[in-house]
A = this chain, B = another copy of it.
């Protein structure tokens, strides 16, 4: 489950409500395109903004629409008590694994983050993906902390943020050297995916695969088969989109892309988040043309 392509679809909104029908269609489309797993309620899935009831409904719809493709469920929250509730709800909804970021309000210490993962792993039967995303959580993992958390029974994989340009292979090698052999290492930051997979990452936790699952599947197939040049080329083909991800953030760009490509009826995000402004929307339209993605 923690290998290959893990697609993280967005959670479509109709105004301030989750559009569950659109969600089912998005998830089903990705599952049919051959994703190895689905990350539901990731950052792109707006988990941090959704109530318990909304998260539960999203997971129930997603598990059904995934038609047997394993669903990883985001369960992050600032309070451990809530994380445990979301973990139980995810298991009851049929999720196959949990994705947990150390979401914070007060700055967290390493001991506090270790304690969070230790507690959740001890209480849940599902394997856990450690979600390392300093940009949203405000918490930066040390390599030592990753190594210690990875040794907790039940911790299956680590989802890392994109290393700096030119440092991907070295970063992957250094982190892997400290991890147990069986820990899956996964890359996020789609622009770094090809390089990271070729450097030994086991899985691509992919935002773009929620909208362009075929293109992401092709990239992963090339990388896994050792067709390095073709994997790199598949990534380069999407560079106009990667550039927008780096400029505007992947959430807002993906929402606009999904709407423009007809994958979702609306690109609304939960307030206070706004979608891209008109300049950003024009850039997305340009990128669609440059990548040859017109419907």
Q: List residues of chain A with CB under 8 Å of any chain B CB.
A: 16, 43, 48-49, 78-81, 102-103, 105-109, 111-113, 115-116, 119, 135-136, 138, 249, 251, 270-274, 277
* Alpha-carbon separation in the docked complex, A109 to B280 (Å): 14
* Interchain CB contact (< 8 A) of A119 among B78, B116, B271: B271
Q: Is the interface of A mostly helix, strand, loop or mixed?
A: loop
Kindly provide the distance from the CB of A89 to the nearest chain B CB, expressed in whole angstroms: 15
Neighbouring B residues of A81 by C-beta, 8 Å? 16, 270-271
Q: A79-B49, A81-B16 are in contact. Are A272 and B116 (CB under 8 A)?
A: yes
Which chain B residue has the least Cβ–Cβ distance from A50? B79
Neighbouring B residues of A113 by C-beta, 8 Å? 272
9 A-B contacts (beta carbon < 8 Å): A48-B105, A79-B270, A80-B271, A103-B105, A105-B136, A106-B249, A111-B274, A112-B273, A115-B274
* Interchain CB contact (< 8 A) of A251 among B106, B111, B138, B272: B106
Q: A48-B78, A49-B79, A81-B16 are in contact. Are A272 and B107 (CB under 8 A)?
A: no
* Alpha-carbon separation in the docked complex, A108 to B48 (Å): 14
Neighbouring B residues of A103 by C-beta, 8 Å? 105
Neighbouring B residues of A109 by C-beta, 8 Å? 274
Neighbouring B residues of A272 by C-beta, 8 Å? 79-80, 102, 108, 112-113, 115-116, 119
Give 10 new A-B contacts, CB below 8 A, not counting A79-B270, A108-B273, A112-B273.
Answer: A80-B270, A80-B271, A102-B272, A103-B105, A105-B136, A106-B136, A106-B273, A108-B272, A109-B274, A115-B272
Residue in A81, A105, A251, A273 with the greatest tally of chain B CB atoms within 10 Å: A105
* Interchain CB contact (< 8 A) of A112 among B78, B119, B274: B274
Kindly provide the distance from the CB of A272 to the nearest chain B CB, expressed in whole angstroms: 4
